Amino acid sequence: MATTGRQYISARSLLLTALVMLSIAGGLGVLYPPHIYPVAIVVGLIAVGLMIYSPISALIIYLVFFLCWPQEWAPVFSYLPPFTERILGFMAIGSLAISLMIRQRSSFYLGRIGIALLIFYVTLILTFFTSVYLTQTKNAVVEMIRFIIVFLLIANIVDNPKKLRIVVWLYFLSIAVLASMSVINYYNGIRQYTMGIERALGLGLSYGHPNSQAANLVLAMPLLFYYLKDCARIPAKLFIVGIMLISVWNVILTGSRTGMVGILFLAAVIVFRSKQKLALGFVSIILLLVAITVMPEQYKNRFMTTADVASADGPDESARGRIEGVVHGLHMFADSPITGVGAGCFAIARGNEFGVYFSSHNLAAELLAETGIVGFAAYIYFTWALLTTIRDSRKYLKSRRDSRDNRLLYALVDGIFVSIILLHLFGITGHNLYRYNWYLFAAMLAVIHRMVIRRQEAEETKIVEHSAKDFTSEIAMANNNGTT
């Protein structure tokens, strides 16, 4: 219930108003075709009202579009303009601003991760001065605004474990939708024939490439696994296991060698970090043998060429192209070492100089070429902020897993840590700087660290209060003894 000294609106009144409006819209839809328009208008108005009234509702609505991009592939959302997500993002920012004013909270929370993110964003803006194509740099800078909005919304709206669970489960559900829809589309003939195999596609255009789809799924698996470990409810466990199984099968169908390497790496990390190494190692080998047995022949042959990715003179053309991209990137960095050739301009600058209009497929080379020393240093600082936040949060939570909330936070910290390692691993063969996972995980970490800081402060306050109480009691006892 939102108040400014007195009650002016309630959840019950909002619900009743929404039901009345939907009933009226449904009646109008029957009388005046097309039937869906009145209902769609009312649903939109209700969503707007809900976003203004409740910041967490605004965040949920926005994340549906941010994580699943339904306007690109779902027919029911196809009538929405392409900038719908941005409108919802700014509406959510407005809802948060109203909440801050009503509750008289002092300011946005950034933390060390937020500060590092803003510093990195400033370095992208600086690349305008040396950009070889200003329009492309503008597009990259505007794209980063989406990620900053997501960070600010999650870091400031999600202020307790219950809300964090909502965001995490929304992420899990988005992965379930993306994986299941991709597999269904594949078996319905919606696939791509490249590299000599039929490959499953992602949904829409943003992450529709098979490699992008595989990366989306693999990067979510560490959070799914560590959340599964500490999940007490059987239905939730079964659902998470189902998401992981269909995700693995979807990665196989994409034919992404990087995705399969990521799954194998994840299995190795899980086994290495577990106390039951032998048992988990045995289970991992059995699951790998089962996967190889049921895997169609074309994908077995595809994954057998994985070793060629690291070979400069092997038969795989993509391996040679990647190494060539790194070399070209270092040449461009040498030509413009301070602020690079401009954010998002690698392919254009490479084409102008070398006649090859492709990205480098290497994070370090493309980051150095596009943003120079300034951007690379800011990126290192951003990575440092992520890793030190993980270290500090994990250190505090490790000995305090006696509550459900602390187990949730600890599991998420472990999962995000492995996902960040995977992001760097994928960066060896792909340029993933503008992938949303970096900034979603950063926001989750900021939320966790904020909760950890609050709990540390609460514990210190209790200690001080307890010490003061003991000291007062000792003085009182001393006075009584003196009087006696």
> Residue 313 falls within a domain, yes or no?
yes
Shared domain check, 346 and 278? no
Residues 278-307: tens digit of each pLDDT: 887 888 888 888 888 888 888 888 887 665
Report in angstroms the alpha-carbon separations of 456 from 162, 225, 396, 409: 19, 28, 8, 14
CB 413 within 8 A of CB 397: yes
Shared domain check, 398 and 345? yes
DSSP per position, 37-70: HHHHHHHHHHHHHHHHH-HHHHHHHHHHHHHH-G
> Residue 74 falls within a domain, yes or no?
yes
Shared domain check, 33 and 147? no
> Residue 53 falls within a domain, yes or no?
yes
Chain Cα centroid distance, residue 376: 21
Tokens encoding 191: 């696939």
Shared domain check, 462 and 318? yes
Q: What is the pLDDT along the chain (484 residues), one digit of tens a residue?
A: 444 444 445 656 656 665 555 555 555 544 445 555 555 565 566 666 666 677 888 889 889 989 988 888 888 777 777 778 888 888 788 878 777 777 655 557 888 999 999 999 999 999 999 999 999 999 999 989 999 999 999 999 898 899 999 999 999 999 999 999 999 999 999 998 887 889 999 998 888 889 999 999 999 999 999 998 878 788 889 999 999 999 999 999 999 888 998 999 988 888 887 777 788 788 888 888 888 888 888 888 888 766 554 444 444 556 666 788 888 989 999 999 999 999 999 999 998 888 888 887 889 999 999 999 999 999 999 999 999 999 999 999 988 877 888 889 999 999 999 999 999 999 988 888 889 999 999 999 999 999 998 888 887 777 665 655 655 665 656 566 655 5
Shared domain check, 357 and 290? no
Shared domain check, 457 and 327? yes
Shared domain check, 479 and 330? yes
Q: How many domains does the chain have?
A: 3
Shared domain check, 386 and 481? yes
> Residue 79 falls within a domain, yes or no?
yes
Shared domain check, 333 and 425? yes
Domain end, chosen from 294, 318, 339, is at: 294
Domain end, chosen from 272, 294, 316, is at: 294
Report in angstroms the alpha-carbon separations of 16 from 1, 11, 36, 191: 15, 9, 21, 46
> Residue 113 falls within a domain, yes or no?
no
Domain end, chosen from 294, 323, 348, is at: 294
Shared domain check, 283 and 427? no
> Residue 112 falls within a domain, yes or no?
no
Tokens encoding 291: 């996967």
> Residue 300 falls within a domain, yes or no?
no
> Residue 102 falls within a domain, yes or no?
yes
Shared domain check, 279 and 402? no
Domain that holds residue 276: 168-294
Shared domain check, 393 and 310? yes
